[in-house]
Chain A
Amino acid sequence: MSAQIRTFALVWLALILLLAMTVAAAFLPLGPAKPFVSIAIAIAKASLIFWFFMHLREDTGLLRLAAVGGALWLLILLLLMSSDLLTRT
Chain B
Amino acid sequence: MSDASPLQESADPPPPRETPEEQVSYLRAGYSLKSWFFTTDHKRIAILYMVAIMFFFVVGGAAAVLMRLDLATPSADLLTSDGYNRAFTMHGVIMVWFFLIPSIPTTFGNFLIPLMIGARDLAFPRLNLLSWYIYVIAGFFTLYSLVAGGVDTGWTFYTPLSTMFANGHVMAALSAVFIVGFSSILTGLNFIVTVHKLRAPGMTWGRLPLFIWSHYATSLVLLLATPVLSITLVLLAAERMLGVGIFDPALGGDPLLYQHLFWFYSHPAVYIMLLPAMGVVSELVAAAAHKQVFGYWFIAYSSMAIAALGFLVWGHHMFVSGQSMYASAIFSLLSVAVAVPSAIKVYNWTATFYKGSVSFDPAFLFAMSFIGLFVIGGMTGLMLAMLAVDVHLHDTYFVVAHFHYIMVGGTVSAFFGALHFWWPKITGRDYTKMWGGLTAVLIFGGFNMTFFPQFLLGYLGMPRRYHSYDPEFQVLHLLSSAGASILAVGYMLPVFYLGWSLRWGKPAETNPWGATGLEWTVPSPPPKHNFEEVPVVVEGPYHYPLKHPASRD
Interchain CB contact under 8 A, B323 and A77: no
Interchain CB contact under 8 A, B228 and A83: no
| Min CB gap B335→A, angstroms | 12
Interchain CB contact under 8 A, A77 and B264: yes
In the complex, B391 has a CB within 8 A of chain A:
no
**A84 to B261 CA separation, bound complex (whole angstroms):** 13
Interface string of A52-89 (1 = CB under 8 A from B): 00000000001000000110010011001101110111
**A84 to B264 CA separation, bound complex (whole angstroms):** 14
Dominant secondary structure at the B interface: helix
Mark out the residues of chain B between 211 and 232 whose CB falls within 8 Å of any chain A CB in the assembled complex. 224, 228
Q: List the B side residues contacting A73 at CB < 8 Å.
A: 224, 311
In the complex, B256 has a CB within 8 A of chain A:
yes
Interface string of A34-65 (1 = CB under 8 A from B): 00000000000000000000000000001000
Report the interface size class on chain A.
Answer: 10 to 19
Interchain CB contact under 8 A, A80 and B312: yes
Interchain CB contact under 8 A, B324 and A80: no
| Min CB gap B6→A, angstroms | 44
With contact pairs A69-B224, A73-B224, A88-B324 given, residues A83 and B311 touching in the complex (Cβ less than 8 Å): no
Interchain CB contact under 8 A, A87 and B324: yes
Dominant secondary structure at the A interface: helix
Interchain CB contact under 8 A, B224 and A84: no
Q: List the B side residues contacting A77 at CB < 8 Å.
A: 228, 260-261, 264
Interchain CB contact under 8 A, B312 and A84: no
Interchain CB contact under 8 A, A84 and B324: yes
With contact pairs A73-B311, A77-B264 given, residues A83 and B224 touching in the complex (Cβ less than 8 Å): no
Closest residue of B by beta carbon distance from A72: B224
Q: List the A side residues contacting B326 at CB < 8 Å.
A: 83-84, 87
**A48 to B300 CA separation, bound complex (whole angstroms):** 36
Q: List the B side residues contacting A83 at CB < 8 Å.
A: 315, 324, 326-327, 330
Q: List the B side residues contacting A88 at CB < 8 Å.
A: 322-324
Q: List the A side residues contacting B327 at CB < 8 Å.
A: 80, 83-84, 87
Closest residue of A by beta carbon distance from B322: A88
State which of A70, A80, A87, A89 has its C-beta within 8 Å of the C-beta of B224.
Answer: A70
Interchain CB contact under 8 A, B256 and A76: no
Q: List the A side residues contacting B318 at CB < 8 Å.
A: 84
Q: List the B side residues contacting A76 at CB < 8 Å.
A: 311-312
The count of chain B contact residues (Cβ–Cβ below 8 Å) is 22
State which of A69, A70, A89 has its C-beta within 8 Å of the C-beta of B324.
Answer: A89
| Min CB gap B308→A, angstroms | 9
Q: List the A side residues contacting B256 at CB < 8 Å.
A: 84
Closest residue of B by beta carbon distance from A86: B324
**A76 to B225 CA separation, bound complex (whole angstroms):** 12
Among B196, B224, B330, chain A packs the most CB atoms within 10 A around the CB of B224
With contact pairs A77-B228, A77-B264, A89-B324 given, residues A84 and B315 touching in the complex (Cβ less than 8 Å): yes
Interface string of B312-349 (1 = CB under 8 A from A): 10110010001111110011000000000000000000
Q: List the B side residues contacting A84 at CB < 8 Å.
A: 256, 260, 315, 318, 323-324, 326-327
Interchain CB contact under 8 A, B324 and A81: no
Closest residue of B by beta carbon distance from A70: B224
Mark out the residues of chain B between 193 and 208 whose CB falls within 8 Å of any chain A CB in the assembled complex. 196
Q: List the A side residues contacting B331 at CB < 8 Å.
A: 80
Q: List the A side residues contacting B257 at CB < 8 Å.
A: 81
Among A69, A76, A83, chain B packs the most CB atoms within 10 A around the CB of A83
Closest residue of A by beta carbon distance from B328: A84
Q: List the B side residues contacting A69 at CB < 8 Å.
A: 224
| Min CB gap B189→A, angstroms | 11
**A87 to B257 CA separation, bound complex (whole angstroms):** 14
Interchain CB contact under 8 A, B228 and A80: no
**A73 to B326 CA separation, bound complex (whole angstroms):** 21
Q: List the A side residues contacting B315 at CB < 8 Å.
A: 80, 83-84
**A4 to B380 CA separation, bound complex (whole angstroms):** 58
Q: List the A side residues contacting B254 at CB < 8 Å.
A: 85
Closest residue of A by beta carbon distance from B254: A85
Closest residue of A by beta carbon distance from B321: A84
Among A69, A80, A84, A85, chain B packs the most CB atoms within 10 A around the CB of A84
Closest residue of B by beta carbon distance from A81: B260
**A89 to B328 CA separation, bound complex (whole angstroms):** 13
Closest residue of A by beta carbon distance from B327: A84
**A89 to B325 CA separation, bound complex (whole angstroms):** 9
Q: List the A side residues contacting B260 at CB < 8 Å.
A: 77, 81, 84
**Apart from A77-B261, A88-B324: 20 A-B pairs, beta carbons within 8 A:** A62-B196, A69-B224, A70-B224, A73-B224, A76-B311, A80-B314, A80-B327, A81-B260, A81-B264, A83-B327, A83-B330, A84-B260, A84-B318, A84-B323, A84-B324, A84-B326, A85-B254, A87-B324, A87-B325, A89-B324
Interface pairs A-B: 7 shortest CB-CB: A84-B327, A87-B326, A87-B324, A88-B324, A83-B327, A81-B260, A84-B323
A residues lining the B interface (CB < 8 Å): 62, 69-70, 73, 76-77, 80-81, 83-85, 87-89
B residues lining the A interface (CB < 8 Å): 196, 224, 228, 254, 256-257, 260-261, 264, 311-312, 314-315, 318, 322-327, 330-331
- 25 pairs across A/B with beta carbons < 8 Å? A69-B224, A70-B224, A73-B224, A73-B311, A76-B311, A77-B264, A80-B312, A80-B314, A80-B315, A80-B330, A80-B331, A81-B264, A83-B324, A83-B327, A83-B330, A84-B315, A84-B318, A84-B323, A84-B327, A85-B254, A87-B324, A87-B326, A87-B327, A89-B324, A89-B325
